[in-house]
Amino acid sequence: MADQGAQDRNLPASERKLKKAREDGQVPRSRDLGHFAAVAAGVALLAAMAPTATGWMTRLLQSGLRFDAGTLNSTASMSERLAELGVQFAWAMLPVGAVMVLAALASGLAVGGWNFTLKAIEPKFSKLNPLTGLPRMLSADRLVDTVRSCVLALVIGLVGAFYLSQNVYQFTTTLTLPLPTALAQAGSDVLYGLMFLLLALAVFAMVDVPLQRFQHAKRLKMSHQEMKQEHKENEGNVEVKGKLTTGPAGSSLPIAYATISASGTVRFGTDNVSCKWSSTLQHYEITISGVNYIWSDYVTVVTPISALPRFVSSYWDGLHLVVIIWNWDESRTQCDFSFVTYKP
């Protein structure tokens, strides 16, 4: 039944469903684009700061290798020096990390737009049930994500192995160079390697962005029945109608109206109206779906459609809007009529 329901969902999501999905934190996000943006921002910043960073790293390493007799006699000097150098290195890397985080956040906004909600982090204990979680783990979307992640890891590994194999001699000769020259050479080698990594990430990001949008739209697709039900709820929902209660001149707009034949058939009107003729009670029973109709909260006007004199009475029986059409001899009769209901 679940598979059949999924197959029936072939209509694009409505604006209402898309809005609810965003409120629940369901927006398309591309992790591969985030990886690419973060690494690209980091590489660009390191490339721009390469001369300054090389000089700073040289001075940091020289200060770390410089010590005196007092340092040798202190048993705690090594840990203190290591902590001091670690703090300096962390402060130096903090701007790079901040730029990478901002780039990753910006990539998320580029795909799904800004969306702030706490529902995405609310605990959902229903997902702890392995019986309901297993189908999600074995779904087509999860399989695609798993295969894509494995291929990405394999490609990154192959790119790294290829770059190392092509530059292994250059790496060994770096060890024989003077310290400032060796640091500059090592930084250049690392940047070139990261550029190869960026090419691989860029290809995966170009594939992942449309893929995530497609999967997101697929998950939110609706069936004809869901679309019909949503349309009925919108037509009969008091909150939705409440937004339209005031016209340009301050007049109320109807929440339901229809023209009904003598047999009780709705000829035309709003989709939230249904009607039937009760032959036992000799009256019409009108249902307005999605509306908690209470006679004191609404205004209903009923107009008989007849060349003969008719008069009408109506009331609420707790379930239906009841309409009775009378002859002038006070006998009940069937007759075409129209009605309109307002929310004051």
- pLDDT (tens digit per residue) in 8-24: 677 777 777 877 877 77
Cα–Cα distances in Å, from 249 out to 23, 140, 253, 255?
34, 54, 11, 17
Nearest alpha-carbon partner for 240 in 271, 261, 279: 271
Instruction: Dihedral sign for Cα 316, 317, 319, 325, please.
Output: negative
Kindly list the domain boundaries of the chain, sorted by start residue: 2-222, 248-342
The pair phi, psi for residue 115, each rounded to 5°, is -155, 110
pLDDT in tens, 137-170: 667 777 877 888 888 889 888 888 888 888 888 7
Tokens of 93: 């890397």
Helices 50-64 and 179-219 pack at an angle, to 10 degrees, of: 120
**Mean of all residue pLDDT scores within the chain:** 78
Q: Is the pLDDT of residue 276 over 90?
A: yes
Higher pLDDT, 233 or 17: 17
Residue 175: CB atoms within 10 Å:
8
Q: Is the pLDDT of residue 337 over 90?
A: yes
Average pLDDT over residues 18-44: 82
Q: Find out whether 223 and 1 touch, Cβ atoms under 8 Å.
A: no
Lowest mean pLDDT among 190-204, 224-238, 260-274: 224-238
Distance separating alpha carbons of residues 230 and 227, to the nearest angstrom: 5
Highest mean pLDDT among 230-234, 316-320, 336-340: 336-340
Higher pLDDT, 245 or 120: 120
Question: Where on the phi/psi map is residue 308: left (φ > 0), alpha (ψ -120 to 50), or beta?
Answer: beta
Please report which confidence band the pLDDT of residue 86 belongs to, taking 50, 70 and 90 as the band edges: confident
